[in-house]
Amino acid sequence: MRAGTEESFRDKIVLITGASSGIGEELARQLARAGAVLSLAARRTGLLEEVGRAIREAGGAEPLIMECDVTRDEDPSRAVAQTVLRRGRLDIVIANAGFGVVGNFAKLTVEDYRRQFETNVFGVLRTLHAALPEVAKTRGQLVIVGSVAGWTASPGASPYAMSKFAVRALANSITPELALMGVRVTLLSPGFVESNIRRVDNQGRLHADAAEPMPGWLVADRRRAVSRMLRAIAQGRREVIITGHGKLFVALERFAPWLLRAAAHRMAATRGGYRREPEST
């Protein structure tokens, strides 16, 4: 992380959801090194404790560890309340919790889509609604972790892509509204980044021993990707596309969408029946 970026986060009170692994964990580690004071929230408190221990051993400030399931209405509100009670204020909230439901449309159920939206869309909404009154007091920042899948959808990933299109629409709509309150909104749209999301099944269960299904050359290094994310947050960017392949996909969607449509038809034709194709965070 660049020196100027580090200075932007020094002594900032930051709440991160989904902080137990992947992008959320790396955000926590890098923010702690930059001098931020962290509240870490996730369902898996055992993993959160490990992240907190690593931060302490590296010399970072003691993070506040909180169990939080963003699909439950009360949990994000409790995380915000505990943060303000212990820290006195809230400067930045990063709505990172999410996973991917994938599969061929004919074999998915409405419940599969509902489960996806409860975490990736309504979980974000719960987090932002809970945080907004406190973040408005500090004229702070709301950060949404979206995806390149919010720009271009691929066969076999309709629930995930729908959820990421939805949060991108949310960010586009609320950015000018919340600017009137002095609150900045930043949407992070990564492509494939090193994380556990492609090891989580459609029920939200982690299979830690599962192999990474994507070829290594296509998966971006987590540390570098998160460093770019934090630079965008520090700069108050409205949206940033992370990873080179992510930028390519977005450019094709904007300027040559027929190429992506042709590729999608070929992909669907070669896949045939159901087969899991996890997407990026």
**Residue 202 has which token pair?**
């459609």
**Residue 114 has which token pair?**
């509902």
Q: Which of 152, 236, 142 is nearest to 191 (CA)?
A: 152
Half-sphere exposure of 251 (CA within 13 A, CB side): 7
What's phi and psi for 92, nearest 5 deg?
A: -135, 135
Contact call for residues 120 and 163 (beta carbons, < 8 A): yes
Active-site annotation holder among 9, 151, 160, 192: 160
Q: Give the integer Cα–Cα distance in Å for 76 and 58.
A: 28
The beta strands (E) that lie in 71-225 are given as 92-95, 141-145, 184-190
List all residues 6 or more positions away from 62 whose beta carbon is below 8 Å from its beta carbon. 52, 55, 56
Is 160 one of the catalytic residues? yes
Contact call for residues 149 and 190 (beta carbons, < 8 A): no
The residues annotated as belonging to the active site are 160
